[in-house]
A = this chain, B = another copy of it.
Amino acid sequence: MHDPLNAFCTHTTAYLKGATNGPLAGLKFAAKDLFDIDGHITGAGNPDWLRTHASAHRTAPVVQRLVDAGADMVGKTHTDELSRGILGENAHYGTPTNPRAPGRVPGGSSSGSAAAVAGGLVDFALGTDTGGSVRIPASFCGLYGIRPTHGRLPLDGMVGQAPSFDTIGWFARDADLLGRIGEVLLGIDLSTTRRPRHLIVAADAFAIAESATQAALAPAVEKVKALFDSHERRPVSATVPLSDWTAHQRAIQGREAWNTFGAWIDQTNPRFAFDISDNFLRGRDTSDAALAAARDFQAARRRELLALLGEDTILCLSTAPFPAPPLGQPRSTMWAQRNAISTLTTISATLGAPQLSLPLAAVDGLPVGLSILARPGADDVLLALARRVAAS
């Protein structure tokens, strides 16, 4: 395959021909190398994972649904190691090129999927989003990308990370196709979707974004506002800062990630980039007390926010605090950026809510995304709204 962006894995030639007829016939897509394809080893972004696992015996149902709907699965794409990263740099396989931001990261962990769509190598691509892994590369690469409601899609045949947060999402270059994929995967009909009436502009979330990003997104926010009957600007989190949300999410996600991978790590002593090990060890060393406190905290936030986010209400926020950072930064810089990013991505992860990033702005030519977020289950509302925003 022609792959000038280093988006695709070279260790597998996974290919699935789409059904002849179907709503996605004629489209090509890629799948992040966390999804099983029958007869191929799922590599998960780490050579020691690849080396210690056998070929999959079946294809992940989400991939199969797309193929059954007519789309050709043309390859598997690079991911941050075991989906544990948000910038998209992979020390083993190299970093996929961000076609919209030369010299900068593509975002991760669904890095290759975002690069492949942004570069026009495929029409759409599957990713996963535990703590931002679809939303952030969508923002950095100038794509539409959705993290659906937690639990809405089956995670079978996929290398998961942290069950409390793992979701499957997808990327497209336009809102129409993003919605068509949603109709196939979620079994919904966007032509009948209700229109939301009230918009909340998340004051605390926008305040986390750098001022240039805030300024760049302002016209897009106005455009979205115009589609609602009413709107208000208020904080998402009235009682505690969003940085607390991040800290508690990290406690749960870290411990769950260690639960998922710890036994394999112990058996294999795998090669990881240093920050991946650092992250795993923070999870391993998270106390039971911290974990219990985090679960209580999240339950309280869900109660508060679900009261705020009515059926007719949409939340609007900056997807990321800044455009794609440069490649190859020092680890301490990356860590600080990752923390800032997580302070925004934690909102939908904590709530289990769907979030959709729209590529509506740029800072010095570098894409930045505007996100819309709805209460759990309202994926259709977001997908339909994205189409209306794009058309407006």
Using a CB–CB cutoff of 8 Å, the interface residues on chain A facing chain B are 48, 89, 91-92, 265-275, 277-278, 280-281, 330-332, 334
Do residues B277 and A274 form an inter-chain contact, with CB atoms below 8 A?
Answer: yes
Selected A-B contacts with CB under 8 Å, 23 pairs = A89-B269, A91-B269, A91-B270, A91-B271, A265-B331, A266-B330, A266-B331, A266-B332, A267-B330, A269-B275, A269-B331, A270-B274, A271-B271, A271-B272, A271-B274, A272-B272, A272-B274, A272-B277, A274-B277, A277-B277, A277-B278, A277-B281, A281-B281
A327 to B126, CA, bound (A): 39
Q: A91-B271, A92-B271, A278-B281 are in contact. List 12 more A-B contacts (CB 8 A).
A: A91-B269, A265-B274, A267-B331, A269-B274, A269-B331, A271-B271, A271-B272, A271-B274, A272-B277, A277-B277, A277-B281, A281-B281
List of B residues within 8 angstroms of A272 by Cβ: 271-272, 274, 277
Which of A92, A271, A330 lies at the interface centre, i.e. has the most chain B CB atoms within 10 A of its CB?
A: A271
A272 to B271, CA, bound (A): 5
Do residues B270 and A270 form an inter-chain contact, with CB atoms below 8 A?
Answer: no
A92 to B91, CA, bound (A): 13
List of B residues within 8 angstroms of A269 by Cβ: 89, 91, 273-275, 331, 334
CB distance from A251 to the nearest CB of B (A): 18
Do residues B274 and A273 form an inter-chain contact, with CB atoms below 8 A?
Answer: no
List of B residues within 8 angstroms of A89 by Cβ: 269
